[in-house]
Structure 1
Amino acid sequence: MATVTTTSEPNPPVTPPDRLAILNRLIVRPEMGALLGALVVFLFFWIITDKFLSPLGVSTWLDDASTLGIMAVAVALLMIGGEFDLSAGVMTASTALITGLLAVHAGWNVWLALAVSLIFALAVGALNGWVVMRTGLPSFIVTLGTFLALQGLNLGVTRWVTGTVQISGVRSAPGYQSAGWVFASTTNLGDARIQASVVWWIVVTAIAAVVLMRTRLGNWIFAVGGSLPTARAVGVPAMRTKILLFMTTAFAGWIVGACNLLRFSSVQANQGVGLEFQYIIAAVVGGCLLTGGFGSVVGAAIGALIFGMARQGIVFARWDSDWFNLFLGVLLLSAVLVNNAFKKRAERVHR
């Protein structure tokens, strides 16, 4: 009887990971440019200053970046959706002023005052989104009008009620202790002092990242920002999505307003004016394109971190603070060029 001998062939050699494929996957991430920029800024100020990496120094630039980061994340979502909100900065003052007026001058509980200011913020955000979608006007124009209206309202009402352009004394209002713990508490870790706004920044970034990358809503945001007609053609609820995005920036403004008011116990009627451009710059540095449909909320958070490190690094280095504006200009131009290059590379990889 013949026997059949089988020879087992050796296992094929294991192919090492395709390094080029891994590099391509990293390069197409919108936040990679911001991450590299943050590393450069960090190393630069670490080398030239002796306080930058101390516990107190780290907590200082994290604190500086936190409120900017909260807003930058929300603005990044809106920019990915293809829109802008120039009223984002003044909204931080509007919500804080409403809370302060009701808590200090009307004697309301701080929590109830915060609830009313939140409703106001969400209503303004919804109105912005509705007007943009119903009229087809550029969000730049619509929210510029909202910016001017809120700025005038802030100054007029505050001066009418208080006789000044400032509200203070919220620490004596009922409910301040618990509200202050949520929005303005400080945690001491050795020499470092971590503000509640830093925790809010981390939480907001984490939630926004999950929503953008892991949910249907995130797909809708990319779709309406990439091509609104195409998004509508495939059944994306474009109006609902964009209104929700405008409400998100207003909600972030409410958080920042609450953090600032309860921490410093006062608010100026002109607070936040001009900061909307810093929010947009942080989002652009983080990988968002001005044309929409591309970007990262994690990148926007890193962009805000670059702001904090640079602003405080300049202080630690004892330079004139005027240099910060030069830094912003160079940073914005560089980010736009890098983001365009990253997007073109991502399009080539995905073909």
Structure 2
Amino acid sequence: MISGIQNGAAPAAKQKSGASGGFGHLLRRPEAGSLLGLVAVFVFFAIVAGQVFVSPAGFASWLNVAAEIGIVALPIGLLMIAGELDLSIGSVIPASSLMVAVVSGYWGLPDIIGIAAGLAFGTLVGYVNGILVVKTGVPSLIVTIGTMFGVMGLTLGLSVLVTGSTSTGLTPDALTTTLLGQFIAGMFQVTIFWWIAFALIVGYFLHFSPWGNWVYALGGDKISARNAGIPTEKLSIGLFMSSGFAAAFVGVSQVIVYQSAQVAGGQSFIFNSIMCVVIGGVLLTGGAGSVLGIVMGTITFAIVNQGIYFTSFDANLGSVIIGALLLLAVLMNDTFRKLALGATKKKG
């Protein structure tokens, strides 16, 4: 467990001491690779795309994308730090959207009931994932693939059975639209502020609460963490529930924004969120990562994803750039992590 906590504690405990240590200390921070990647892609598209990219509309295009992916990427990042993975988010997002649309749109119940049903469903799926992982010992990758297809089939079947269609409309009330579906200045989704709130909450949990070190220890060495008295099973279940809740929240916000829900959709969030987390410096092997890095990785991904449309390049090149960025991020993050750990050992 000691190695797991040390790997994870470096971002949490050493950040303050390195904040004012100059550029050399900056390069030894675990998030240095994410920051350099973010600056590089922003400058690149600002030069290539020109004024339109740095206009309010340009900022809105990638911030709106970053907000939706970012809300999901945060708990996915926690799970990956803990050595787990959740692929079921790809089906939870459309299922929660349809839940709200059917309850409040098709049946006509108050929006708050539909929203509560959608969020409860996502949390329940996360609970089932957690129980199956900790009780069976089957890798979370396999478990969540199974629940993903199960939820997908259940959503399709019930949608057709109840409404006779694979899509359902919804006209939200004024308060619901203001809280979850409003466009500020006609461009910026209110979801951006929800993303900031999620980031602050998750950041406190991971870096300032005692449970944060438990997450790092779980990803570093699960057996040692259990032997040290950390409630690994409850912690794992809680992390899966947070992932399901976040995915459901995105699904709920989508149906409020677009006033329609479909069975198809949400699959892109699986790999996009993982890419954001990896670009943000979270190790695939677990035990290391930070919320700041995840946020920067999400912004970097969103800039590349949307920035390509502001240039004269073939839109298909966006996938090439994202793929290259992912590989480069893995190499850079490993390098900066070694620098950070080396600096920590010297100070210790």
> Same fold by TM-score, threshold 0.5 exceeded?
yes
1:244 to 222, 238, 244: 238
1:191-340 correspondence to structure 2 within 5 Å: 193-340=187-334
Aligned to 1:109: 110
TM-score, length-scaled by structure 1: 0.89
SS of 1:267's equivalent?
strand
Aligned to 1:146: 147
Distance in 2 (CA, whole Å) between partners of 1:276 and 1:216 is: 29
Following TM superposition, by how much is the alpha carbon of 1:151 offset from its aligned partner in structure 2, in angstroms? 1.2
TM-score, length-scaled by structure 2: 0.89
For the 8 Å contact 1:30–1:286, the answer to whether it is kept is no
Query: Residue type of the partner of 2:295?
Result: A
TM-superposition CA deviations, 1:107-142 (whole Å, max 9, x none)? 211101111121111111011111111111110000
Q: How many residues align?
A: 328
Following TM superposition, by how much is the alpha carbon of 1:348 offset from its aligned partner in structure 2, in angstroms? 2.4
1:75-224 correspondence to structure 2 within 5 Å: 75-168=76-169, 170-171=170-171, 176-188=173-185, 193-224=187-218
SS of 2:187's equivalent?
strand
- Cα 1:163–1:243 change in 2 (3 A) is same
For the 8 Å contact 1:225–1:292, the answer to whether it is kept is yes
For the 8 Å contact 1:24–1:349, the answer to whether it is kept is no
For the 8 Å contact 1:212–1:218, the answer to whether it is kept is yes
Following TM superposition, by how much is the alpha carbon of 1:21 offset from its aligned partner in structure 2, in angstroms? 6.5
Query: Residue type of the partner of 1:77?
Result: L
- Cα 1:79–1:18 change in 2 (3 A) is closer
Structure that is richer in helix per residue: 2
For the 8 Å contact 1:76–1:283, the answer to whether it is kept is yes
Distance in 1 (CA, whole Å) between partners of 2:114 and 2:21 is: 53
Query: Residue type of the partner of 1:184?
Result: G
Structure 1 segments unaligned to the other structure (5+ residues): 1-16
For the 8 Å contact 1:52–1:316, the answer to whether it is kept is yes
Distance in 2 (CA, whole Å) between partners of 1:111 and 1:19 is: 43
For the 8 Å contact 1:91–1:121, the answer to whether it is kept is yes
Following TM superposition, by how much is the alpha carbon of 1:318 offset from its aligned partner in structure 2, in angstroms? 3.2
SS of 1:167's equivalent?
strand
- Cα 1:326–1:59 change in 2 (3 A) is same
SS of 1:34's equivalent?
helix
Aligned to 1:73: 74
- Cα 1:267–1:220 change in 2 (3 A) is same
Distance in 2 (CA, whole Å) between partners of 1:179 and 1:52 is: 31
Following TM superposition, by how much is the alpha carbon of 1:18 offset from its aligned partner in structure 2, in angstroms? 10
- Cα 1:28–1:146 change in 2 (3 A) is farther
Distance in 2 (CA, whole Å) between partners of 1:68 and 1:285 is: 13
The two structures, once aligned, show a CA RMSD in angstroms of 2.0
Aligned to 2:7: none
For the 8 Å contact 2:82–2:218, the answer to whether it is kept is yes
Distance in 1 (CA, whole Å) between partners of 2:18 and 2:103 is: 61
- Cα 1:136–1:314 change in 2 (3 A) is same
SS of 2:196's equivalent?
helix
TM-superposition CA deviations, 1:131-157 (whole Å, max 9, x none)? 111111110000000111111112222
For the 8 Å contact 1:88–1:250, the answer to whether it is kept is yes
For the 8 Å contact 2:127–2:240, the answer to whether it is kept is yes
Structure 2 segments unaligned to the other structure (5+ residues): 1-16
Aligned to 1:38: 38
